[in-house]
């Protein structure tokens, strides 16, 4: 059952930092091969008592494992997102069980936006915009254009970018989850 027809496809998560706001939006579609299995999955959530927002693309069980690990690292490092992300990425890359996880994470707090991967990457964008998942490049392109050429808020850009990605990527769609924080940058 691990052929192309049953492969679980990804999603689209976008983070936008603009003005005094940072927004994270994710679609709710879950697809298996050519079939949409669910339209209302919640792939974006608050961590660290609401101080961090994280989103995932990839295998759901793997992502929940990573959310739990990120939450532990945030507690361990006094809610320092950068330190927690670096430690999670190190564990993810070197731990035998975690290495098998198939997901990507984005996480933001009031000051930092990060992409965290299982290859040890912790990437902070120069322009405050990050996107992951199968529709990630479409959402990223849309967000960059909207950020530069409109007066839309971070939340409006995130939602519109996700809508544009869903009009191009067949693995992006469904209910949108959008969360925001006040940005200090």
Q: Give catalytic residues, as residue numbers.
A: 11
- Does residue 81 contact residue 183 with C-beta atoms inside 8 Å? no
Please state whether beta strands 44-47 and 52-58 pair in parallel, antiparallel, or not at all (unpaired): antiparallel
Question: How large is the C-alpha radius of gyration of the chain?
Answer: 16
Phi, psi torsion values for 107, nearest 5 degrees: -145, 140
By three-state DSSP, how is residue 120 classified?
coil
Pairing between β-strand 113-116 and β-strand 21-26 as defined by DSSP bridges: unpaired
Compute CA 123 distance to the chain's CA centroid, rounded to the nearest angstrom: 12
């Amino acid at each position: 059952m691990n052929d192309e027809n049953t492969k679980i496809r990804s999603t689209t998560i976008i983070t936008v930092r603009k003005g005094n706001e940072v927004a994270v939006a994710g679609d709710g579609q879950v697809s298996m091969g050519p079939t949409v299995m669910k339209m209302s999955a919640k792939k974006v959530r608050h961590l660290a008592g609401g101080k961090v927002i994280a989103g995932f693309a990839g295998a759901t069980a793997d992502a929940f494992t990573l959310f739990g690990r990120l939450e532990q690292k945030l507690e361990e490092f006094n809610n320092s997102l950068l330190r927690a992300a670096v430690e999670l990425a190190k564990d993810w890359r070197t731990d035998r069980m975690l290495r098998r996880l198939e997901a990507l994470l984005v996480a933001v707090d009031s000051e930092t936006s990060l992409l965290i991967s299982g290859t040890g990457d912790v990437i902070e964008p120069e322009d405050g915009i990050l996107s992951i998942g199968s529709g990630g490049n479409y959402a990223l392109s849309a967000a960059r254009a909207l950020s530069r050429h409109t007066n839309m808020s971070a939340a409006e850009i995130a939602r519109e970018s996700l809508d544009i990605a869903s009009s191009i990527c067949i693995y992006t769609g469904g209910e949108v989850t959008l969360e925001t924080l006040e940005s200090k940058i």
